[in-house]
């Protein structure tokens, strides 16, 4: 299982890139998991909604089970990121949004000050191995970066 971190400041296009990558990779037969790691608290929804009310009331866990989806929320200190990644069984790829303190392959997005095209650096083992500029070039380079180490050649 390959794990790739997508990092960058707010507004640099991380979620947009990840959404496109997930759609494309799943369309090619990859099983993709998404993990968001943040130093901010999660917003469970508007005040007064059931999940928010029950968690604030002290529920040890809240589970939403609905049409085609189960969401589990456990308040408290999150486990180490490595444990969360290890729990992602049955997938070919984990795309981690965030995780800047982890030594993982990474796509780092940036917007130049004063405008200009979005840029990306591709990091392996702590070293920048390539760069790309502009949304389409970044997307294509990101696909190559992610797929290159996949065993079994799902990209062939």
CATH number at residue 39: 3.40.50.300
Round the average pLDDT of the chain to a whole number and report it: 87
67 falls within a domain: no
For the chain, the domain total comes to 1
Decide if pLDDT at 38 tops 90: no
- pLDDT tens per residue, range 115-130: 889 999 999 999 999 9
Range of the domain at 21: 2-44+77-147
154 falls within a domain: no
153 falls within a domain: no
| Bridge partners, 120 (sequence order) | 109, 132
Can you read off the two tokens belonging to residue 26?
A: 């799943």
156 falls within a domain: no
58 falls within a domain: no
Question: What mean pLDDT do residues 59-67 have?
Answer: 88
21 falls within a domain: yes
Alpha carbons within 13 angstroms on the beta-carbon side of residue 142 total 29
82 falls within a domain: yes
Q: Residue 1: is it exposed, middle or buried by C-beta count within 10 angstroms (0-12/13-18/19+)? A: middle
| Bridge partners, 32 (sequence order) | 93
């Amino acid at each position: 299982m390959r794990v790739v971190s997508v990092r960058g400041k707010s507004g640099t296009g991380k979620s947009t890139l990840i959404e496109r990558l997930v759609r494309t990779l799943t369309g090619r037969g990859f099983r993709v998991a998404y993990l968001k790691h943040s130093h901010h608290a999660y917003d469970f929804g508007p005040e007064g909604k059931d999940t928010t009310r029950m968690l604030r009331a002290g529920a040890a866990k809240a589970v939403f089970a609905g049409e085609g989806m189960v969401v589990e929320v456990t308040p408290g200190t999150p486990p180490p990121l490595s444990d969360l990644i290890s729990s992602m069984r049955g997938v070919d790829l984990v795309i981690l949004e965030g995780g800047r303190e982890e030594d993982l392959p990474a796509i780092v997005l940036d917007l130049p000050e004063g405008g200009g095209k979005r840029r990306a650096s591709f990091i392996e083992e702590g070293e920048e191995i390539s760069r790309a500029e502009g949304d389409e070039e970044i997307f294509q380079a990101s696909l190559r970066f992610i797929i290159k180490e996949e065993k079994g050649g799902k990209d062939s």
